[in-house]
Amino acid sequence: MSPWFPPRWPAQDPDLIQLYTMNTQNGQKVSICLEEMDLPYEPHTVNITQGDQFDADYVRQLNPNGKIPSLMDPHGPEDELVYLMESNVILQYLADKTGRFFPRTYRARLEGMQWMNFQAAHIGPMFGQLGHFFKFAKDKTGDTYAVTRYLNESKRLLAVLEQRLQQRDYLIGDYSIVDMATVPWVEGLEHYYGAGAALELAALPNVSGWRQRVTARPAYQRGKDVGRIS
């Protein structure tokens, strides 16, 4: 298969990994991971606030679901081109490609996969719904049911993280793609949705320490702003 690049986002170096993203919580996961792994890549900003993710070429070739991030690696499995969507699948692929930031034994991988799915099935969807109703739709409805529901569920999920991080520095022992996938969502509660006080984040010492350890990493600081819209 020959590489194909969407006309709106031409590749400057077709031999590099091409990342199509914006600095949302899901987008940050992958750019942070690429920075941590020291993998050369070329980022392309897909402005989802302007509907760029629904570009016909983007949807047809890169992401049929019309979401970010998407990734193209010209040197994928068996050194063949691969296109990938879904942020946690991309993280898992990059961990397998490099042999870094994810366990190698089957038992340990099962533990890691559980917490990756916890992020994808619970943390992301519930925190995202909270953000929608707490910040973006707060003036669109007089009904407090949705905000209350998602605040309570987000508090419950944060309590799960707090318990998990008791006597652990990271979610599965060593720093891994599980932390890369999860921390941006917790950071977003405070810095993007403005819900830190409502969720009493300051009262979670284990979560707070974990956030500080992860966000202090130079690769995290570089990766979190990839795809930023000025």
Do residues 96 and 112 share a domain?
A: no
Do residues 75 and 128 share a domain?
A: no
Do residues 130 and 80 share a domain?
A: no
**Position 183 confidence tier, pLDDT thresholds 50, 70, 90:** very high
**Position 141 confidence tier, pLDDT thresholds 50, 70, 90:** confident
**What integer pLDDT is reported at residue 54 of this predicted model?**
98
Over residues 76-130, the pLDDT tens digits come to 999 999 999 999 999 999 999 999 999 999 999 999 999 999 999 999 999 999 9
The CA distance from 109 to 173, in Å, is 12
Residue 2 lies in a domain: no
**Position 1 confidence tier, pLDDT thresholds 50, 70, 90:** low
Do residues 132 and 31 share a domain?
A: no
Last residue of a domain, one of 66, 101, 136: 101
Do residues 91 and 133 share a domain?
A: no
Bridge partners of 17, per DSSP, are: 41
Residue 12 Cα to chain centre, angstroms = 25
**What integer pLDDT is reported at residue 32 of this predicted model?**
98
Residue 182 lies in a domain: yes
Question: pTM higher than 0.85 for the full model?
Answer: yes
Residue 170 lies in a domain: yes
The CA distance from 100 to 177, in Å, is 9
Closest CA to 170 of 90, 91, 86, 101: 101
Total number of domains in the chain: 2
**Which domain range does residue 138 map to?**
106-220
